Chains A and B, each alone.
Chain A
C-alpha cells in the first residue's frame, strides 16, 4: 500500500527539514563570516527551493509561504537585483530560525511557530515591498487563516484513507511542477543524507532504499540523459512504499505512472502556452542585437522555468527523450539568463525552434527530425561557445563577412564603426549596436546603413548582395506563415495605434503641455509601433522595420523629451502612421517623397535637424502647416515617380523587397482567427447533433417495425376480404335469381353446433357461423390497425420533437458558424480615419471622426466591401457638407467639424449612421441639377426627401467644379449599388443647414440566412425579410383611397398603397375574391420608408438560405436573391422597398426598360377517382411547368374550389359520390367559373357522352388513352395563354 495518510508524509518531510536546517545554518555562518561564495548561494537556494516545493506538496502552507518568500529573495540576490546587506541578512536569519523552530516544535507549540513566522515574513515582505499584510496583525491574521486551512484539511485527510497519488493528481493546489520538485529534491536530500548520516538520522522510515540506482539530483538525471527507468522511479518513491505489500504497490505504481503521464501531457500544454507567450514577447522585443535588459531576463527566466518544468516532469514520467532535449535547451537558457550580456534575433529563432522541437517531442515524437536537432545543437554550441572546439562558431560571426563587403563603399568613419563592431564580436560578445549608432549619429554620420544592418536579418546587404551566411540562419521557417502571422498581429497593433491616435487627436486641439494622459497615449502608440517594427524585422520586412525605427525615434522624443504637443505634431504622427500602414498593406503605394518629407519633419519636430539629409527645398520654409506632408502629389505618387533624393531606407527596401519570396502587393488576410471558446461551442453543438441523430435513428428503426406490423395487418385484411369475396359474393351470385335472399338463407355454421345443441333456441345460445368469425377477425384487425395507428401517431409526435431539436441545433450551429466569420468594425476603422485625415488635410479643413459602436460585428467580407462606400460618404461629407473653418466660425460652429460614425444592432441588421455637422444638402442645387435631366417638371414638385433620394441617381452632381475628391457625379450611385450588393440599403435620414446630414446604412447581419415571410402573389411564391414587416392586416377596401397613386388608412396612419400583383405582373390576372374584398396587407417599415403592400396570401414564416441569382444576373432591381424550397423550386426574395421605388423610378422614366410581365404558371385542377390517372396526368402537367391541384371526385373538387380558382379543369366522367356531369352543373352554376375551360378526360367515346358533355359546358374532350402532345396542345389552346 502507498502511504495512506498525509501525516506520515509530513512526518518524513519534517525529518528531512531537520536535516536541511543545519546545512542552511552552516551556509549562514559562511555568510556572516563573509566567506560566502556563489556556490554556497546556489546550494542555499537549492535547499530553500526544496523546502518550498516539498512543503507545498505536503500542504504545510506556513512553511511554504516563508520558503517561497525566501526563495524569491535569493532569486533577487542571484540576479544582482538586491545586495547582501544587513536587512537581507536579517531576513534570511529570521527565515532559517523559523525553519528551525518549525522542524522541531511545530507539533508541540504552534504559537512559537507563529511568532517566528511573523518575524520571518515581516522581514521578507518588507524586503520585497509586498503591499499586503505588512503589519504584525495582518500577518497573524494570515497565519491564522493558513492554520485554519491546514486544520480543516488535516481533518479531511485524516478522516479518509486518501492515497498520495490522488493528492498529486487531483488536488488543484499541487501541480506537477511541485511534485517533480518534491521528488527530485527529496531524492537530492536522500543523497545528501546518505553522505552525511550523522547529520540526518533517518530511522525506520528510511528514505533511501538499497537499490537506488543513481542519485536523483536534477542535473545528474539530465546529464545522463538516461534515467533510472522504473527502478529508479520506484526506488525514488521508496519512502512512500510500504515494504509489506509489494504486489499491490507495483499495481498502484503502474496506475500512478499512467496518471502521471496523463497529468504530464495536460500540464505540458500549459507550460508550452506560457513558453510560447514569453518567447513571443521576447521575439517582439529583440529585433536587433541588443543588451539583455532586466525585462529580457525575466522573460528568459519564464521560458527557462517552463522548459525546466517540462523537462523535470518528463524525467519523472520516464519520457527520456523529452527530458534529454529539455536539458540541452535548458543549458542554452541557463547561459542566456545567467551569462550572456547581449542577445540577437537569431538566438531567439534558435530558441523558438528548440521550443518547437520540445513540443514536437511531447506531442508528435514521431515527427522529430534528428537532423534538425543536430543543427540546433550546433547552434547552441555557437551561442554558448566552446573554446576548445576545433571550429568555434560564433553566432554573430557572419557580421564579419558582411562588414567586409559593406565597408568597401563607405567612408572612413563608418568603416571605423564597423571595426568597432568587429572588435566587440571578436571578444565573443554581441556588439552594442545601439551604442555605436548613437556614437555615429553624434559624429554626424548617416546611420541608416547601420540601422538597416541592425534591423535587417542580414540576408541583404547594402549593395544588394546576398549574405553568404544566410543559410546558416535559414531554419526553413515557413516564411509565408510568419508573414501571415505578422499581418494578423499588425492588424491588431494598427487598431490600438489608431485608437490611441484618435484619442490624442481629439484631445490636442492647440499647442499644449504634455500631460501624463497624453504621455500614456504616446506610450501606447510607441508600443504599437515598436512591436510592428520588431515583428517586421523578424519576418524580414526590412522597409517596415526601418520606417518603424524612424518613427519610433520621433515617438521616443515625444515621450521622453518633449514638453509640449501640438496638432501639428499629431499630424506628423498621423502621417507617419499612415505611411507605416501603407508599408504594411500597400507597400507599392508608399511615396518616397512623402517618406523623405516626414523624416525632415521628424527631425524638425525633435529639434535635431540632420543637415546631411535635408533636402534643399526644406531648409528654410518647412512648417508644420506645410501641406506638402500630405499633398496631392504625395497621394498620387506611385513608385515609378522617383524623387530626386531617394531616401536611403526605402531604396534599400525596394531592392530587398524585390528579392523577397513573398511579394506583398495588395494584401488580404487569408486566415480567420477564431476564439477558442467559439470553436469549442461548435464542437459541443456538433456532438449534440450526433446524439440527436442517433435518437432519431433509433426511432426510425421503431417506425420500421411498426410499418412491418401494419403490413401484417394489411395482409390479414386482404385475406379477410378475399374470404368474404370467395365465401359470400360468389355465393350471393349463385343465389342470384333464386327467391331466397342471402338474409333469409341459413348461414353456414361452424362444425355442428346447431346439431349439437338442438335443445337451444338461436336466442338462447349464440351460434357462430363463418361469417361471424370473419367479422370478428375484421374487428380484431381493426383493433390491431388502431393500435398501430396510435403507435404511429406517437412516433409522429416523437419525430416532430426530434426534428424540432435538430432544427434548433442546426440553427444554433449555423448561427455560431456565421459568428465565426464576424469581425468588429475596428477592422476597417483605420482606413476610415486615414480617409478623414487625408481629405481634411487636402481641403484645409479640421475634422474629427468620432466613432461609436466599433465593437459591432459583421461578416468580415461585408466590412471589407462596406469600407469603400463608407470612405466615399466620409469624403463627401468633408468636401460637400463641412464648411471651411472660417465659415464655421462665422456660423457660430466650432472650427473643427465632427463626423459621427455610429454602428448599432437593430434586429437582424446592423444600422450604420454617418452624421456630419456641416451645412446639409443643398436642395435647390439638387433641384436645379434635376432640371437639366429628363425630369424638369417633376423636379419642381419633389419633396426634400425625394430630392435627397435623387443624389443616389447616377450622373447627378451639384458641383460645377470637379476636384480630385468629388464633383464628377459618380460615386453615390456606386455607394448605393455596393450597399445593395450587400443586401443593404442606404438613405439620407435627415439633412439640415444646422444639423448637417445623416446617412443611414442598413446591412443584414449575415448574407447567408434570413428570417423571412413567405407569401404568394399571382400564384407564385415570394419571400421577404420579416424584419421590415411591422404588421400584417386585412383592411376593408373602403380604406383604399385614390386612383393612380393609392393610399390606405390603417388606424390613424395613412400609407402609400401598392398591390404587389400589379407590380409583379403589370395587371393582376387572378386574385381570390377574399383578397379583393379584404386585401391582405403587409405594413412595411424600413425605418426610412413606410408603405402598405397587398399580397394574395401568406404562406409561413421561416429562416431561409439566401442564394445569389447566379453570375449571369448579378443584381435584379427589387430582388435580393432567391431561396430554394423543399421541392427544389426557387422563390425570389424581394426587397420590397427597392422593388417599389424601382417601379416608381421606372414610371418616371428615369430608367428605360421594357415593361416586363411575368407569365403565371397555368393552374390546372385534375378531378379523377383513379389514383393512377391523377398521378399520370399531374406529372404530365407539371412537366410543362404548370401547377396542378388534384381531387378524387366532384364533391372534393367543389370543396377545393371554395378557395381555389384553377385556370383549367380536367374532369373524369364516372366518379363516386358526384360524377363529372353532376360536377359540371354545380361548377358552371358559379359565376366565377362560367368561363373556366374544362376538358373531359374519359374512356367513354359514345356520341351521347360527348353531347352530354357539351350540354353541361365542357370545352374539350380527351379520350383515354391519350397522346401527351395532343393533350398538351388541347390544354394550351383552351387556356388562351398560348396563341398560335
Chain B
C-alpha cells in the first residue's frame, strides 16, 4: 500500500496549530506545580539530598539459599553474572578459583560454604558481587542480587544475639526486618579477615 503525504491546505494550517500547541504546553508548564518553583532548584536539590541523608546508609542485599543477606553498598564494587572461574590447586574448598574482572584477577569465594549454608545443587550462585575493603577484594557468589535499600527504610533492627542459632551468626552484625522479611547484615570486619588466607 502506498502512503501519500498530504500537502497544501493542511500544511498551511500547521504553523498556527503548532503555535497553539506550544502555547498550550507553555500554559500547562506554567500552571504545573513545580516542586522547586517557590524555593528554587538548589533548595529543591538540597531538600532531596537531605531526604536521602535522612534515610541513612545504603545497603545491597542478596539471596543465598533464599536467605537474604546485606552488606554496605560502599563495599560492593561490581555486580555481574557467574564468571568463568579458573580453579587453582592447594586452596580451601570455599575458594572456587580466580576470575577476570575487567582485566584484574580476583579470587572467587563460595559464600555459602563460608556461611555454612547447605549447598543447593552444588551451586555457589549465579551472580557475582565483588566486595572490597581497604586492600582486600574478592568476588562472592550469590543466588540473587535482590536490590538496594536504605537503613531508614527498615521496619526493625534485630540485634545479633537473636540470630545466634543460625549457622552463620558468627558473620552477622545485626538483622534488619524489611517488609517483614529478615535481612542479615554481614559483618565485613569479621568476614574479610576470615576470608583472608596466606597473609
Contact = CB atoms under 8 A, between A and B. Distances in A.
Contacts of B92: 1154, 1156
Contacts of B122: 1282-1283
A202 interface: no
B57 interface: no
A1113 B197 contact: yes
Contacts of B88: 1109, 1113, 1116, 1119, 1132, 1158
Nearest to A1131: B86
B99 interface: yes
Interface of B: 81-82, 84-93, 95, 98-100, 103-107, 121-122, 135-138, 195-199
Nearest to B123: A1282
A1131 B85 CA distance: 10
Contacts of A1129: 84, 86, 100
Contacts of B136: 1111-1112
Contact of B198 (A1063, A1115, A1121): A1115
A1282 B135 CA distance: 35
A1111 B85 CA distance: 17
A1128 B104 CA distance: 10
5 contacts: A1108-B105, A1112-B107, A1113-B197, A1128-B84, A1158-B89
A1184 B126 CA distance: 9
8 A-B pairs closest in CB distance: A1158-B87, A1112-B107, A1130-B86, A1112-B138, A1129-B84, A1107-B105, A1122-B105, A1282-B122
Contacts of B135: 1111
A1139 B98 CA distance: 18
A229 interface: no
A797 interface: no
A1129 to B, nearest CB: 5
Contacts of B103: 1124
Nearest to A1283: B122
A1107 B104 contact: yes
Contacts of A1063: 89
A1108 B199 CA distance: 15
A1117 B88 CA distance: 10
The listed residue with most B CB atoms (<10 A of its CB), out of A1130, A1132, A1153, is A1130
A362 to B, nearest CB: 44
Interface in A1181-1223: 1183-1185
Most chain B beta carbons < 10 A, residue from A1110, A1129, A1142: A1110
Interface string A1094-1115: 0000000000000111111111
A764 B9 CA distance: 69
Given A1113-B107, A1130-B86, 7 more contacts: A1110-B138, A1112-B195, A1122-B98, A1124-B103, A1139-B89, A1142-B90, A1154-B93
A1185 B86 contact: no
Contacts of A1122: 86, 98, 105
Nearest to B106: A1110
User: For the side of the interface on A, what is the size category?
Assistant: 35 or more
B59 to A, nearest CB: 22
Given A1130-B100, A1183-B81, A1282-B122, A1110 B86 contact: no
Nearest to B195: A1112
Contacts of B107: 1109-1110, 1112-1113
B106 A1020 contact: no
B109 to A, nearest CB: 8
A1020 B97 CA distance: 13
Question: Of A1115, A1116, A1124, A1273, which is in contact with the most chain B CB atoms at under 10 Å from its CB?
Answer: A1116
A1112 B92 CA distance: 13
A1146 B90 CA distance: 10
A1110 B93 contact: no
Contacts of A1118: 89-90
Contacts of B105: 1107-1110, 1121-1122, 1124, 1130
A983 to B, nearest CB: 15
Contact of A1116 (B85, B100, B198): B198
A1112 B137 contact: yes
Contacts of A1132: 86, 88, 98
Contacts of A1154: 92-93
A900 B102 CA distance: 46
A47 B81 CA distance: 87
B89 A1114 contact: no
Interface string A1240-1284: 000000000000000000000000000000000100100000110
A524 interface: no
A1154 B93 CA distance: 9
Contacts of A1142: 90
Given A1113-B95, A1115-B198, A1124-B103, A1156 B90 contact: yes
A1122 B86 CA distance: 10
A738 interface: no
A262 B136 CA distance: 56
Nearest to A1121: B105
A1020 B198 contact: no
A1156 B137 contact: no
B198 A1130 contact: no
Given A1116-B198, A1124-B100, A1111 B86 contact: no
Nearest to A1115: B198
B66 to A, nearest CB: 16
Given A1112-B138, A1122-B98, A1276-B121, A1159 B87 contact: yes
A1020 B99 CA distance: 14
A206 B173 CA distance: 101
A1114 B198 contact: yes
- Residue from the set B89, B98, B100, B122 with the largest chain A CB neighbour count within 10 Å: B89
Contact of A1117 (B82, B86, B90, B98): B90
A1159 B119 CA distance: 16
A1276 B121 CA distance: 9
Contacts of A1183: 81-82
Contacts of B197: 1112-1114
Given A1109-B107, A1130-B98, A1185 B85 contact: yes
A1110 B78 CA distance: 15
Most buried by A among B87, B95, B197: B87
Given A1139-B89, A1156-B91, A1110 B104 contact: yes
A1124 B86 CA distance: 11
A1159 B110 CA distance: 14
Nearest to A1125: B100
Contact of B82 (A1109, A1131, A1185): A1185
Nearest to B102: A1128
A1116 B86 contact: no
A1156 B89 CA distance: 6
B137 to A, nearest CB: 6
A1166 B98 CA distance: 27
A1064 B85 CA distance: 16
A846 B136 CA distance: 47
A1154 B113 CA distance: 15
Contacts of B86: 1020, 1122, 1129-1132
Nearest to B84: A1129
B173 to A, nearest CB: 21
Contacts of A1184: 82
B89 A1064 contact: yes
**Most chain A CB atoms below 10 A, which of B88, B100, B136:** B88
B132 to A, nearest CB: 9
A1118 B198 CA distance: 14
A1136 to B, nearest CB: 12
A669 B122 CA distance: 51
B127 to A, nearest CB: 12
A1020 B84 CA distance: 12
A1273 B120 CA distance: 12
User: Which of A1108, A1109, A1118, A1273: most chain B CB closer than 10 A?
Assistant: A1109
Interface in A1124-1156: 1124, 1128-1132, 1139, 1142, 1146, 1153-1154, 1156
B12 to A, nearest CB: 44
